Structure 1
Amino acid sequence: MDIVIKLSQFLLSLSLLIILHELGHFIPAKLFKTRVEKFYLFFDVKYSLLKKKIGETEYGIGWLPLGGYVKISGMIDESMDKEQMALPPQPWEFRSKPAWQRLIIMLGGVTVNFILAFIIYIGMAFVYGDNYVANADLKDGVWVTNPAIEKAGVQTGDKIIAINGKKMDRYDDIAKNLFMANEVTIQRNNEEKTIKFPINIINKISNSGVKHSLVEMRIPFIIAGFEKDSPNSKNLKTADIITHLNGIPLQYVDEAVEIFKKYKNQTVPATIKRDGKVIQTTIKFNDKSKSGVAYATRIPYSNIEKLNLYKVNRQTFGFFESIPIGINMGVNTVIDYGGQLKKIFNPKTEAYKEVGGFAAIFNVFPETWSWTAFWSITALLSIMLGVMNLLPIPALDGGHVMFLLYEIISGKKPSDKFLENAQMVGFVLLIALLLFANGNDIYKAIMK
């Protein structure tokens, strides 16, 4: 059932992004009286799952979920329709339109991507507001959950003051910026120090084998479940909080993990909290100091408030207040993604090894349905799609825009033969990138 929910979110998000992107091309093409022969969700290689012709346009759903397309008459695109291009230009064709109209048609898709992302962020600000824990309230620092971050020099209990020189005002800012960190300013034992991260930290994080976040808020030992045949499943329950072990206070789960290592083949007295009541019990450990008890690494803000762990700051916004906030979120996301691309194109960072394909995108979605997560991920993917399509690579929108700008500035239109060759080179390059990204997914699945 979890995989069905995850797949549903993935397909819904992908379909929404593809349809709206292609609408961005379709609408201006129609406004400029340019014939659109096909409008497809997914690719219809050899055959279609569904199709219906309305007017001059065939609308359909293909069987290959690697994207979508609109086929515009008289345009050199992935269809490579040389027969049509060999005929005299017709007034309804793309090639017969003024360069400025063709430019608007080509920019339509990415424009819609960015507009969609900004609308989502505005809507999220209006509907969900802004909930956060101030970084200053993490009195005992953060819990480092990824060994690569620990090896880089950041320890559990450190207060992360700034990342890349930018002050971290909120806890959420830490998790978002740490992945791209070049240097981290921390406070340890009331002393500030700046730690330089290795240039290939992204690759080290990926190779650490730890899938969850890099750092977490320090929280108590809250039981999240039990391993099969755990000897402690009878006397302990999910949501119990272990507060003492063998008389030793356990304030945070990271402390408990270290203390548990001391006990082997022992039954140890423990104190737990259950529904507000204090209960005395015992915890059994095997010969590997394992208890078979799984603990929570993070909890929702509602539970943070309920357990009185940290102060949760809540802000609500009216519709017009949400507009600048949503726009600011969108701008920051574009800037952050630009920084990621910069790292990917720098071989020294080895970030190119972490480029993923459809499996990587699929794995971003949670296994439980969450509209907050769905819209947040969809907005990010929309920006990623917009930025990637703007890259000046033939066969992408950015490649067409590059040649159109050359035509507008120079007054000379590249020949159809040149555009056909450029389209072919761009198509081969895109296939190579697609194989590389999805090949990375396959390699990680096999090796890890």
Structure 2
Amino acid sequence: METFLIRLVQFFMSISLLVLLHEGGHVFFAKLFGVRVEKFFVFFDVKIGKWAGKLFAWKPKNSDTEYGMGWLPLGGYCKIAGMIDESMDTEQMKQPPQPWEFRTKPAWQRLLIMIGGVTVNFILALFIYSMIMFHWGNTYYRVADMSMGMEFNAQAKSMGFRDHDIMIGTDRGPFKEFMNVNGDFFRQIAKAKRVDVMRNGKKVSIKMPGDLDMLAMIKSYPIFAVPYIPATVDSVFAGSAAAKAGIKKGDRIVAVNGKEVATWSDFDYHKTVLGDELKAAKTSADSMKIRNVVLVVARQGKSATDTLHMTLAPDLTVGVAQTSLRNYYKPVTETYGFFESFPAGVKYGWNILRGYVSNFQYLFSSDGAKSLGGFGSIGSLFPPYWDWHDFWMMTAFLSIILAFMNILPIPALDGGHVLFLLYEMITRRKPSEKFMIYAEYAGITILLLLLIVANLNDILRWLGYM
């Protein structure tokens, strides 16, 4: 429960900040050009019956703008006078145009008002990344330094990879880090014609097709490649199934129910298989039988192995902390001075955006649609502990996603309005108000369907059907 609350607080802090600044970008340009902003809300104040839906609201003296917060955290909005938006205020549009309305302003001013939100989000993301580079630097594990190499799945092995191969690079350049937010490591392999590895002290080149499905590489289980991390216990949680069975720090798990285990990836795979069997169990006796497992462990400093019987928790929790990259390798940290941090942050942010745009193509595949996530998926991206570095990294990443998604040419999004404004600027003709109203309805419908699919996916994952 505590970890859920920590993630929830981080999620709301991050989303509230991003929505506030996004809508603030629209308001800034609107007020700059003398356009009246009637409402400026973080989250939507959807009315239910007689309840106005406002958590709080206030209107400063001599101001045309009501500021507040709604109860529905699906974004935010600013109601700009004389504009067809999500408020669907068609009555206002029937009145004679006023000089302080959006519709009476030149197209270039209306364009700046519409791109104000995404502009702020892009600048914010780059600024946050720059400050992260200045304060913490860029820390990562270099792929070529992973002396135990990688562990590969069946697909990778069929192409010529072998466990413990140390990844050097491809015909597209050397590898940098194993896996960052936008998956450069897998994208580089997917597009490569050749991958170079070190095997038993010798360089080996593996021929590649150059058109692998990156999404399939990551979504397969086991995934295409992971760092080879021995299944050595880093620590044991008091009162856990592992503690009761006698597992100790430094023990290495070598078998589960008679099946060989070499790495934590192997162990997690066997746990997943047990989880599938547990879902199919029909009686409590069947469930208990599945939860009773036999582990073979190699004790630290001893040549003999011990066989241990363990009853896993109902959710198959073992109760150990796994060793990770930090137990075996020293990370590389690139540090930057204040002025150096800005080009470094811009470069890092641009790389994140480029990777996200590249990954967007997978949305239109069946696997891509299944990968859509709603609020639960977004919230789970935050760590289950409080860490300012991770919080700001996620906030910057979400800011880029918010900007990119909003600039898509879908009616009801900023990008839809931009598309119609560009059409007007090129043809010198405005789309009719009737057309804009129908387009807004169509856009809202599309967004609602995407929202339903994304959150339904979260529910299905939580229930174990995806």
Normalised to the residue count of structure 1, the TM-score between the two structures is 0.82
Q: Verify: 1:49 aligned to 2:48, yes or no.
A: no
**Counterpart position of 1:429:** 446
1:61 partner letter: M
Task: Indicate if the aligned counterparts of 2:38 and 2:79 stay in contact, CA closer than 8 A.
Answer: yes
**Counterpart position of 1:339:** 358
1:223 partner letter: D
> Post-superposition shift, 1:149?
6.5
**2:333 equivalent among 314, 317, 326:** 314
Task: Indicate if the aligned counterparts of 1:200 and 1:350 stay in contact, CA closer than 8 A.
Answer: no
**Counterpart position of 1:83:** 91
Task: Indicate if the aligned counterparts of 2:35 and 2:100 stay in contact, CA closer than 8 A.
Answer: yes
**1:139 equivalent among 133, 140, 147:** 147
Report the Cα distance in structure 2 between the residues aligned to 1:177 and 1:354, rounded to whole angstroms. Answer: 18
**2:435 equivalent among 418, 422, 444:** 418
Residues 374 and 288 of structure 1: CA distance in aligned 2, closer, same or farther (over 3 Å): closer
Report the Cα distance in structure 2 between the residues aligned to 1:358 and 1:265, rounded to whole angstroms. Answer: 35
Report the Cα distance in structure 2 between the residues aligned to 1:194 and 1:227, rounded to whole angstroms. Answer: 49
> Post-superposition shift, 1:366?
1.2
Residues 151 and 39 of structure 1: CA distance in aligned 2, closer, same or farther (over 3 Å): farther
Give the SS at the match of 1:88.
coil
Residues 421 and 220 of structure 1: CA distance in aligned 2, closer, same or farther (over 3 Å): closer
Give the SS at the match of 1:314.
strand
Q: Verify: 1:29 aligned to 2:35, yes or no.
A: no
**1:101 equivalent among 76, 99, 109:** 109
Give the SS at the match of 1:368.
coil
Report the Cα distance in structure 2 between the residues aligned to 1:234 and 1:171, rounded to whole angstroms. Answer: 34
**2:367 equivalent among 350, 357, 363:** 350
Report the Cα distance in structure 2 between the residues aligned to 1:127 and 1:218, rounded to whole angstroms. Answer: 30
How many percent of aligned residue pairs carry the same amino acid?
41
1:396 partner letter: L
Aligned positions of 1:100-179 closer than 5 A: 100-144=108-152, 155-162=162-169, 165-172=172-179, 176-179=183-186
> Post-superposition shift, 1:162?
3.4
Aligned positions of 1:180-199 closer than 5 A: 180=187, 181-183=189-191, 185=195, 187=197, 188-189=199-200, 190=202, 191-196=204-209
> Post-superposition shift, 1:2?
1.0
**1:438 equivalent among 446, 449, 455:** 455
Q: Verify: 1:241 aligned to 2:242, yes or no.
A: no
Report the Cα distance in structure 1 between the residues aligned to 2:293 and 2:451, rounded to whole angstroms. Answer: 51
Cα deviation 1:117-168 (Å, max 9, x = unaligned): 0001000000001223332222221245x78877887553122333683420
Cα deviation 1:314-346 (Å, max 9, x = unaligned): 33211001111000001101100011112223x
> Post-superposition shift, 1:422?
1.4
Q: Gapped runs of 5+ residues in structure 2? A: 255-261, 271-291
> Post-superposition shift, 1:71?
0.3
Report the Cα distance in structure 1 between the residues aligned to 2:321 and 2:392, rounded to whole angstroms. Answer: 25
**Counterpart position of 1:275:** none
Q: Verify: 1:391 aligned to 2:408, yes or no.
A: yes
Residues 286 and 100 of structure 1: CA distance in aligned 2, closer, same or farther (over 3 Å): same
Report the Cα distance in structure 2 between the residues aligned to 1:110 and 1:265, rounded to whole angstroms. Answer: 53
> Post-superposition shift, 1:363?
1.3
Task: Indicate if the aligned counterparts of 1:39 and 1:59 stay in contact, CA closer than 8 A.
Answer: yes
> Post-superposition shift, 1:87?
0.3
Normalised to the residue count of structure 2, the TM-score between the two structures is 0.79
Cα deviation 1:248-274 (Å, max 9, x = unaligned): xxxx7559969x9xxx999989543xx
**Counterpart position of 2:236:** 225
Report the Cα distance in structure 2 between the residues aligned to 1:36 and 1:419, rounded to whole angstroms. Answer: 20
Cα deviation 1:378-430 (Å, max 9, x = unaligned): 11111111111111111110111111111112221222112112111111111
Residues 439 and 196 of structure 1: CA distance in aligned 2, closer, same or farther (over 3 Å): farther
Give the SS at the match of 1:68.
strand
Number of corresponding residues: 424
Residues 333 and 401 of structure 1: CA distance in aligned 2, closer, same or farther (over 3 Å): same
Q: Gapped runs of 5+ residues in structure 1? A: 246-251, 273-277
> Post-superposition shift, 1:232?
5.1
Give the SS at the match of 1:285.
strand
> Post-superposition shift, 1:19?
0.5
Give the SS at the match of 2:46.
strand
1:424 partner letter: Y
